[in-house]
Amino acid sequence: MIRVVIVGLGGIGRRHLANIRAAEPDAQITVLRHLRADSSVPAGANRVVYSLDDALATQPDVAFVCGPTSTHAEAGMAFARAGVHLFVEKPLALDLTDAQRLVEASNAAGRMLIVGYNLRFCASLRALHAAAHAGRIGRIMSGRAEVGLYLPDWRPGIDYRTTNSARAEFGGGVALELSHEIDYMRWLLGEVATVDAIVGRFGDLDIDVDDTAELLLSFTGGGIGSIHMDMTQRSPTRTCRLIGTTGTLTWDGIAGETQAFDHAEGWTTLVAGGSEGRNTMYLAEIAHVFACIRGESAPFADGLTGARVVQIAQAAVHAAREGRRIVV
């Protein structure tokens, strides 16, 4: 029997709760909540507690840290120091210092640290990665990622102005909120060498954080890349295009479709749109976490990966503020 603590019960916390219960029916699941407004035990959980001490007293094997980014370091450090495996939702922390502290604490305890970059478990994006690394389009020269999601539509029925994504005090802001794109561009093209960026608040949303970012990256392997992120686009988009010496790969994350082009065959569909339900990648992510705990797999997105993404996001903000290229 595995003992689990879930820290925070927002949308992603509830999703993980349901998926953990489906994956591990006999698990003892404790939910750590910060507010006592609702004392009921949510479906799928065994108990609710309201302090870190009470959560630690359950002697968990793994903690899923799903609260606001601003709380990741405090909660993560407490569990890591107690010798608990960690799954921390993206981004790993508010800044590089806290991210590195979490990595060091987990390493010192000899425990696993996984960061919740769930797009790595999306079948259509994995097909893009596999094709790129199998040489389907030759040497990759450049890549372009774009994500645009209208913040008021993210959580239906909730005033977007009250959400963590909209508030600086909780770690909101586009560069960290939409850091999936930074993660998977590193996954596809390799390590980032330099960052140029324009980051700011260009829309009309009632928020106190940046809503748009444009990053220009160079990679140590010689390629270049760009990432557009915004929280203002009314038509949802999540796409990636890789340009190689012999062809092109494209990914549409909204449609769940991956295509390849070469001059001889034209366009070929590698993964057809609509072939995967949205929760499938989250289920795969949960299965991966427990496989890592059992020693059957190594983390796809470990603490060092999470810290590196935070570093690049932080560098983008600094590059924009200072008007200069930053070497990372």
Quick check: 35 pLDDT over 80? no
Enter the pTM of the model. 0.96
Tally of CB atoms within 10 A around 164: 18
- pLDDT at res. 217: 98
d(CA 105, CA 100): 9
How confident is the model at residue 169, as a pLDDT?
85
Q: What is the pLDDT of residue 156?
A: 86
Please report, rounded to a whole number, the percentage of residues in the chain having pLDDT higher than 70. Answer: 99
pLDDT at 37: 67
Q: How many Å apart are CA 287 and CA 66, to the nearest integer?
A: 17
pLDDT at 246: 97
Whether residue 222 is predicted with pLDDT greater than 90 in this model: the reply is: yes
Q: What is the mean pLDDT of residues 143-168?
A: 92
pLDDT at position 220 over 80: yes
> What confidence tens digit (pLDDT) does each residue in 36-89 have?
766 789 999 999 999 999 999 999 999 999 999 999 999 999 999 999 999 999
For the residues 252-266, what does the mean pLDDT come to? 95
Flag whether pLDDT at 126 surpasses 80. Answer: yes
Residue-wise pLDDT for 189-219, tens only, equals: 999 999 999 999 999 999 999 999 999 999 9
> HEC string of the chain?
CCEEEEECCCHHHHHHHHHHHHHCCCCEEEEECCCCCCCCCCCCCCEEECCHHHHHCCCCCEEEECCCHHHHHHHHHHHHHCCCEEEEECCCCCCHHHHHHHHHHHHHHCCCEEEECHHHHCHHHHHHHHHHHCCCCCCEEEEEEEEECCHHHCCCCCCHHHCHHHCHHHCCCHHHHCCHHHHHHHHHHCCEEEEEEEEECCCCCCCCCCCEEEEEEEECCCCEEEEEEECCCCCCEEEEEEEECCEEEEEECCCCEEEEEECCCEEEEEECCCCCCHHHHHHHHHHHHHHHHCCCCCCCCEHHHHHHHHHHHHHHHHHHHHCCCEEC
Domain ranges of the chain: 3-118, 119-276+302-327
For residue 321, how many other CB atoms are within 10 A of its CB?
Answer: 11
Query: Is it the case that residue 178 has pLDDT exceeding 90?
Result: yes
The CATH number, out of the four listed (3.40.50.720, 3.30.9.10, 3.90.1330.10, 3.30.2270.10), of the domain defined by the range 3-118: 3.40.50.720
Look-up: residue for tokens 């390799």? 190
Rounded-to-integer distance, Cα 45 and Cα 183, Å: 31
Check whether 171 has a pLDDT greater than 90.
no
Angle at 268 between CA 262 and CA 273, to 5 degrees: 140
Q: What pLDDT is attached to residue 277?
A: 84
Q: Count Cβ neighbours within 10 Å for each residue of 59-81 and write b for 16 or more, e otherwise.
A: ebbbbbbbbbbbbbbebbbbbbe
Mean pLDDT, all residues of the chain: 96
Query: In terms of CATH architecture, what is 119-276+302-327?
Result: 2-Layer Sandwich (3.30)
- In sequence order, the β-bridge partners of residue 251 are 240, 258
91 preceded by a cis bond (ω within 30 of 0): yes
